[in-house]
Structure 1
Amino acid sequence: MTIGSKIAWDDTVLPFQLDRSDIRGRVVRLDGVLDQVLSKHDYPPQIEALVAEAALLTALIGQTIKLRWKLSLQIRGSGAVKLIATDYYGPTDDGQPARIRAYAGFDAEELTDAAAFDQLGEGYFAILIDQGEGTVPYQGITPISGGSLSRCAETYFAQSEQLPTRFELSFGRSQLPGEAEGWRAGGVMLQHMPKASPSVGEASGEGGLLTHADILDGDEGENWTRANYLLDTVEDLELVGPTVAPTDLLVRLFHEEAPRVYDSQPLRFGCTCSAEKVRDALEPYPADEIAEMVTAEGIVTADCQFCGAHYEFDPATLGRDGDGA
């Protein structure tokens, strides 16, 4: 598609709150970040779509974590797609950008003409939060279900956190007048405010999992339903931009819900790989196992699955018997 003039909201997340409905949310826009994520690999279209959706979800969910924390999504399947992995690194200081990276592992020979989500088969959707040294990482897991990664994430929040959550996403390749074609993506996340003691009814969702209807009732249920009806009216071009600012989008959708916006969070592509980390990973290996990794050129190589960085090492410097061990 060809779209109009660009605005300065690309690669950002804008948090907001609907005061009338006791609902919080975020609007995300990705262009350069997603281009960098996908340009590191030559993915087939179905894989690109899954990685784009996972990156959007990561940006929306990750923005809730505190400074310096790391949030990851891991989607593991039994079909052609074996793994989709994303990382969100919280900013190290106030005002600094958060960083995102993502990749997919798949068997090209098992890919079919089916929709992207169907390439996953059975498996699980997991969210992991690492709060840093001296803490135990948190992990929550729900089954793959619902027909999209967005629906998987909604099920995760209902089941693991008892938080009704809704995602509406759009992504694809687009072109601005006079510019090269590139990826654009956008989305909105709605989430009901946590309740002190949620009253959870019998699970009515697919596979015996919870849905928002099992958690909310009365005025809260009506407010949630109304906000979702309003979000149903959003159009793809409104989600991805670039001619509609996220603030304008919120007014278009939720002006009667009294939207209140907070400071936006810039996003950047960022990978944490390094030669030092590769050395640290190989340090436990004895010399005989390091020898099995040596190429015909007499070196040990390693490639980062996220950014494609290529590392080469003298095997004599690696492992327990290496110079740095």
Structure 2
Amino acid sequence: MTIGSKLAWDDTVLPFQLDHSDVRGRVARLDGVLEGILSQHDYPPAVEALVAEMALLTALIGQTIKLRWKLQLQVQSNGPVRMIATDYYGPEEDGQPARIRAYASFDRDRVTDGNPFDQVGDGYFAIMIDQGMGMQPYKGITPLAGGALRSCAEAYFAQSEQLPTRFALSYGKSREAGGEEHWRAGGVMLQVMPKAGAHVSGEGGSGEGGLLSASDLVEGDEEENWNRVNFHLDTVEELELIGPSVAPTDLLVRLFHEEQPRVFDAQPVRFGCTCSEDRVRQSLSIYSAKDIEKMTTEEGLVTADCQFCGAHYELDPKSVGFDAEDPPGES
């Protein structure tokens, strides 16, 4: 495949529907997005892998949110990796790219080699949706369980949305002939089409710790369809997920040609941060002059660093806080 056709699918999410089985899904490919996220930090390999997995989950889940909405995925744990946060900003207008950013907070001395999921201990996986001014944000959480972040996301949809959901993900560093090593990721998300009034009664499920799983939510023809498409997805190879040699459309035909796959418009995604000096000033506006004085460095500045993109801000302490003597823009 030529370089041009390869790049056509990088950093995109392709939504699709399997008409024969009432299953919907998305195929995602991330390249430059991951480079933008991971190049900002010096993460150990295990932390890089966790952030890459979270970014890929965020792209797959975020594709469904509306214009100008914000989706956030978050992991909080008592393990070596204390927190992972990702943000997905819906496009400002139709046809524009969505934006993703991510970062991790961790204790470097406690991080070990091996399974990346071992770096998170007890805690929770959360999904939050912000619909904008005047709207109450939505938040749903599920315990960290299942041995992978994708398993936590599947448990979230089973518990909070009662939607059977499956992720097949692949991510890692790759090197093209004559090029430098860089991160790539790709994945498929499957989800049973939601039905009005769907609800599961009873206590507990078959998942770890009694959590609901997809198998607890389907029965009859729906169960047969769900099991069949998952059988097909189990045949996917890692390189098919990551690409770039197999286009997402070709992958869908290879996996699900009997399920009558139908694709919709692809959503481009980019690495992007919303930090700005104005936002820093706004966050400091709740502090008094005495508080600001405690934050002032020996050089006579108030500084702030963005955890997501690494941007560094230096502000005159007299111009920030609710006691500001010389606010910017005033003379």
The answer to whether the superposition gives a TM-score over 0.5 is yes
2:83 matched to which residue of 1?
83
1:196 matched to which residue of 2?
196
TM-score, length-normalised on structure 1? 0.97
Identical pairs, percent: 68
Match of 2:295, SS? coil
Measure, in 2, the Cα distance between the counterparts of 1:256 and 1:188: 17
1:96 matched to which residue of 2?
96
- Give 1:233 deviation, angstroms: 0.4
Q: How many residues align?
A: 323
Asked whether the equivalents of residues 198 and 215 of structure 1 are also in contact (C-alpha less than 8 Å), the reply is no
1:216 matched to which residue of 2?
218
Match of 1:321, SS? coil
1:142 partnered with 2:142: yes
Asked whether the equivalents of residues 7 and 243 of structure 1 are also in contact (C-alpha less than 8 Å), the reply is no
Match of 2:46, SS? helix
Measure, in 2, the Cα distance between the counterparts of 1:4 and 1:48: 29
- Give 1:180 deviation, angstroms: 1.6
1:69 matched to which residue of 2?
69
Match of 2:76, SS? strand
Measure, in 1, the Cα distance between the counterparts of 2:86 and 2:284: 23
Match of 1:233, SS? coil
- Residue ranges of structure 1 left out of the alignment (5+ in a row): none
- Give 1:320 deviation, angstroms: 1.2
- Give 1:324 deviation, angstroms: 2.9
Structure 1 pair 238–168 and aligned structure 2 pair: CA distance change class (3 A): same
Measure, in 2, the Cα distance between the counterparts of 1:113 and 1:15: 35
2:289 matched to which residue of 1?
287
Measure, in 2, the Cα distance between the counterparts of 1:49 and 1:199: 35
1:302 matched to which residue of 2?
304
Asked whether the equivalents of residues 46 and 112 of structure 2 are also in contact (C-alpha less than 8 Å), the reply is no
1:233 partnered with 2:235: yes
1:124 matched to which residue of 2?
124
1:264 partnered with 2:263: no
- Residue ranges of structure 2 left out of the alignment (5+ in a row): none
- Give 1:110 deviation, angstroms: 1.5
- Give 1:201 deviation, angstroms: 4.9
Amino acid at match of 1:121: G
Structure 1 pair 232–318 and aligned structure 2 pair: CA distance change class (3 A): same
- Give 1:118 deviation, angstroms: 0.9
Measure, in 1, the Cα distance between the counterparts of 2:321 and 2:114: 44
TM-score, length-normalised on structure 2? 0.95
User: RMSD of aligned C-alpha atoms?
Assistant: 1.3
Which 10-residue stretch deviates more, 197-206 or 89-98?
197-206
Deviations 1:119-141 (A, max 9, x none): 11000000000000000000000
- Give 1:197 deviation, angstroms: 2.2
